[in-house]
Amino acid sequence: MFMRFLKQMTLIFIAIFTFSACEKEEVDNVGPTIEITNIVDNQEFKFGDDLRMNFKFTDQTGVYEYAYELYSKDFLPKEFTVEQKVFDLNGSFKEISLQQVIILPAKTPSETFAEGDYVIKVQASDDHQIVSTFYKPIRIVYPTAE
C-alpha cells in the first residue's frame, strides 16, 4: 500500500514538474527588433554629407550579427548604392546600440548620382538563426547652389 502511494506521488511530482517546466519556457519564434533611432521616415540628406545611423537591436535570446545596405527605392539608373555590409558582433547581446556612417559622395564633373527616394535596409540575426528585416525610407539630394 505504501509503495503504491509512493509511486503515485512520484508520478504526480513528475507530471507537475514537467508541466511547470514547459509552461515557463518561452519559445523564440521572433527575430530581433531593429530601430534606427536618429532618422525619421523620409528625412532628407545631402550628397557630400555623412549619413550617420544609430542602430538599436533587441532580442530575447540575443543578437549576434547585423547587416545594412542602401539603395534607390525605384532602382534608378545612376543610383547611389552601398552593397550589403555584414558585421559579426563577436558575442550575443540582448540589447545593443551601434553607429555606422555612410559618406555620401559629392557631385563631381564626372560622376552624378540620381537624387530621390532611397531605402536603408537593415537585417539582424538572433541566436536561433531567426532574421528580421527593417526598412527606413530617406531622401538624398544635392545641395542647392548658394
Question: CA-CA distance, 55 to 66, in Å (whole number)?
Answer: 10
Query: Rounded mean pLDDT of the chain?
Result: 88
DSSP state of 66: E
Joined grid coordinates for residue 5: 502511494
Model confidence at 28: pLDDT above 70: yes
* SS3 category, 8: helix
- List pLDDT tens digits, range 121-132: 999 999 999 999
Judge contact between 67 and 122, C-beta under 8 A: yes
Name the fold adopted by 33-141: Immunoglobulin-like (2.60.40)
- List pLDDT tens digits, range 91-145: 999 999 999 999 999 988 888 999 999 999 999 999 999 999 999 999 999 998 7
- List pLDDT tens digits, range 45-62: 999 999 999 999 999 999
Joined grid coordinates for residue 91: 558575442
Q: What is the pLDDT of residue 18?
A: 61
Neighbours of 73 (CB within 10 A): 14
- List the domain boundaries for the chain: 33-141
Model confidence at 9: pLDDT above 90: no
Adjacent-strand bridge partners of 134: 122
- What global pTM score does this model have? 0.80
Q: What is the pLDDT of residue 6?
A: 53
